[in-house]
Chain A
Amino acid sequence: MPLRILIVDDSPAARFMLREFIEANGHQVVAEEERLEGALRSYAQHKPDLVTLDLSLAQGDGLSVLKALREQDADAKVLVITGNSQKKVLDAVYAAGASGFLAKPIDFPSLMAAIVRVTL
């Protein structure tokens, strides 16, 4: 069964790369968003199986988006995909309820494994 995935990243290049990979593997991208308001709106509208989320957003920050998504839906599955791999940040991300974490640059086998793992 194809997964329905919401991409939250303010980089057009990153969103393109993720979309290409997700669709090539038979899943569906339900929406792409760049900021908090759009992410919450799209989540409520589409109720995706998974959200991929970058921490560094031009408007606001990814950690706030993560917390808001989890507040909106305690069962929300959020895979954080970010260039920021600092230990304290990783701790904060998991404390805020992330289902998984991947460091950029994206290793596509690892991304597939993470998608499978967090949506089981």
Chain B
Amino acid sequence: MDDDGQAERELLRLIGRGVSDSADRLAKISRTEWVTQTVSISMAPLAKFQGVLAGDAEEHFGAHFTLPGGVFLVMIPSRSGPAFADAFLPASKKHPEGVKDRERSSLAEISNIVVNAVAAVVADACGMALMLSAPEVSHGRKADLLREAREMVSSSGEKSVVMAYVHMSSEALSSDCSVVVLMSEAWQARLFAALE
């Protein structure tokens, strides 16, 4: 039990470090400062996460990145789409039609960069390679996007997961970015074994 507690703390520390890298990458992309407000981790049956994030009714852009035994989810308020696209592709501002699905594509690419920062820190510490899928993009409230992520994990037969939740914000952009990592028990066990 103590070993698992120590491994869990180490995983939380690694995710925190990955999030710091994510915030640096977001800052580079958006040319504004990002602050990490929340980093939390918990383990429970999948169903227990049903009501999580239900209090946030705002529409969000969601990018799901899957891998065997887990899902990474990035959520950005949909209202921030234009600001992110302008920051990411300033050369396209005058002719936005020159980029197919400019906002969606920009948010997907930004999400890819953000989530890989977290994945890299965890993967390197564990001596593993985590090959994330290309993003599956959708829109919805945070609770709905999280439900989609839970369904992706449960479709592979998982009953319990570890959920890490990270929330970052930018005052200059009046926006925020949340990252959720859902890990199956098997994947979590592999990470914990590698961290011991």
Q: Chain A: residues with CB nearer than 8 A to chain B?
A: 10-14, 16-17, 20, 56-58, 61, 82-89, 92, 104-105, 107
Contacts and interface: CB of A to CB of B under 8 A. Distances in A.
Interface of B: 25, 28-29, 85, 88-89, 91-92, 98-102, 105-106, 108-109, 112-113, 115-117, 119-120, 123-124, 127-134
Which 9 residue pairs are nearest across A and B when measured between Cβ atoms?
A83-B116, A88-B129, A13-B105, A58-B134, A12-B100, A12-B105, A86-B123, A83-B113, A13-B106
Contacts of A58: 134
Interface of B, secondary structure class, is: helix
B15 to A, nearest CB: 15
Contact of B28 (A10, A83, A92, A105): A105
27 contacts: A11-B108, A11-B109, A12-B100, A13-B89, A13-B106, A13-B109, A14-B105, A17-B88, A56-B112, A56-B134, A58-B134, A61-B131, A83-B112, A83-B113, A83-B116, A83-B117, A84-B116, A84-B131, A85-B120, A86-B119, A86-B120, A88-B129, A89-B123, A104-B113, A105-B28, A105-B113, A107-B28
Contacts of B124: 86-88
B99 A12 contact: yes
A18 to B, nearest CB: 11
A16 B99 contact: yes
Contacts of B127: 88
A89 B91 contact: no
